[in-house]
Amino acid sequence: MKIKNYIIWLVLFLLVIFRYFSTRPIFRDGDLIRVASRVSAEPVQYTNARRLILAGLKIYLPKYPEVGYGDRVVIEGVVAGGQLKKPRLISVEREGGILFRLRQRLIAFYRFVLPEPHASLVAGIVLGSKSQISESFWQSLKNSGAAHVVVASGMNVTFVAGFLIAVLALYLPRKKALIPAVIGIWLYAVLSGFEAPIIRAAAMTTLAFWAQAVGKVSFAWEILLFSALVMLAVKPSWLNDTGFILTYVATSSLMLFSGRIKRLFGFLPKATVFFNEGLITSLAAQIGVAPILFVTFGQFNLFSPLINALILWTVPLIMIIGAIGGIVGLVVPVVGRLILLIVYPLTWWFTMIISI
């Protein structure tokens, strides 16, 4: 490796440290503050409240009036132990960009056409939206180790990237197809909630495409580390974000183990290829992720790789049919509705498997 490379890494690393210490909040407990900010991630929903994190503070608001991803809010309250207590919502402005509105309208359409928990499942898989997932469904998702499917996860980006490249390559030479594909991936990242796992996957895909375009040999590990450092330099608070940690551990774990596990499971019949891939992938990811899940959520399901193997094959199908049905539905609701009904057998299978 050349000296220049070392310097780039060092500078990036120092930048993360500098940013970490310079962006720590300056208010103390007991301060009465007013936060004016855009809601940069989807609020977590509880039965009678919703939680958002603004300026590093947890804020619990009542269910109505609604506050969602992309809204501009002004909230007043008292700082206490990382929380903004007695929050008062002073204003909420829904003037989001076109992408935010598209997202909201898609989710509303899914909810109008499909019953729960199927609507939440489709909204979660297509757009990473976990708002309004009912507590009981969320619990069975977590228990079965399938929650990663409905929260914004890197898998979505991988599907989108694969889909875009496949479609664009029909009309453009591969090298030229990369640029619109990258734009598409980032549009999707904003559309699907712009959370750490999505950004991780989008950044890594972008770097990999860039390496392809300039003809560099790319090293997966370098890309992994580089994207992590850039993300932390931009937003140091991700260091405490479970999603951020999980996505990087899962990816590393996949890179380390999936090759080996694939060899180990060489005896599986070819006919069940859908099942095999899901099993191998989730086994490889679980090795790294399981301990973290156990520590943070206190749970671990031994059968989780098996459950994942049974359902993962439905995810790309739900994503494609769900996306097409949703977009068509915004123009011609009746047709979109018919397309979305095709998804029902898949979501039915999915919900049945995880509730066993």
Partner 1 sequence: MKYLFGFLTLLTVLIWLAVFASPSGNLHLVACNVGEGDAILAVFRNFQILVDGGPNSRVLDCLSRHLPFWDREIEVVVLTHPDKDHYGGLIEVFKRYQVDNFLSNGLDAGTLAYEVLEKEVGGKGIREAAAKKGTRVRVGEIYLDILSPEEAKKEAESNDNSLVIDLKYGNFEAVLTGDAPKEILNKISVNVPLDYLKLSHHGSKTGTDAFTLANFMPKLVVISVGKNNYGHPNEEVLKILEEGKIKTLRTDEKGDIEVTSDGKRFWIQK
Q: Which residues bind partner 1 (CB under 8 A)?
A: 47-48, 62-66, 108, 111-119, 132, 134, 136-137, 341-342, 344-346, 348
Residue type, 81: G
Among residues 284, 356, 354, which one has the least CA distance to residue 144? 354
- In the complex, the smallest distance separating the C-beta of residue 49 from partner 1, rounded to whole angstroms, is 10
The three-class DSSP label of residue 118 is helix
- In the complex, the smallest distance separating the C-beta of residue 130 from partner 1, rounded to whole angstroms, is 14
Cα torsion 59, 63, 66, 72 to 10°: value is -10
Complete edge-to-edge strand list for the sheet that includes strand 44-45: 32-38, 72-80, 83-93, 57-62, 49-54, 44-45
Residue 50 has φ and ψ, to the nearest 5°, of -135, 150
Residue type, 290: A
Query: Which one, 6 or 348, has the nearer CB to partner 1?
Result: 348
- Cα angle value 99/158/257 (rounded, 5°): 145
User: What totals of helices (H) and strands (E) does the chain contain, helices first?
Assistant: 14, 6
Query: Which one, 137 or 238, has the nearer CB to partner 1?
Result: 137
Query: Which one, 11 or 273, has the nearer CB to partner 1?
Result: 273
Cα torsion 75, 79, 81, 86 to 10°: value is -60
Query: Which one, 47 or 240, has the nearer CB to partner 1?
Result: 47
Query: Which one, 119 or 254, has the nearer CB to partner 1?
Result: 119
Query: Which one, 19 or 142, has the nearer CB to partner 1?
Result: 142
Q: How far is CA 15 from CA 20, 25, 211, 236, in A?
A: 8, 18, 24, 10
Query: Which one, 51 or 260, has the nearer CB to partner 1?
Result: 51
- In the complex, the smallest distance separating the C-beta of residue 124 from partner 1, rounded to whole angstroms, is 15
Query: In a 10 Å sphere around its CB, with 0-12 CB exposed, 13-18 middle and 19+ buried, how is residue 275 labelled?
Result: middle
- In the complex, the smallest distance separating the C-beta of residue 278 from partner 1, rounded to whole angstroms, is 17
- In the complex, the smallest distance separating the C-beta of residue 111 from partner 1, rounded to whole angstroms, is 5
Cα torsion 235, 195, 189, 325 to 10°: value is -170
- In the complex, the smallest distance separating the C-beta of residue 316 from partner 1, rounded to whole angstroms, is 12
- In the complex, the smallest distance separating the C-beta of residue 63 from partner 1, rounded to whole angstroms, is 7
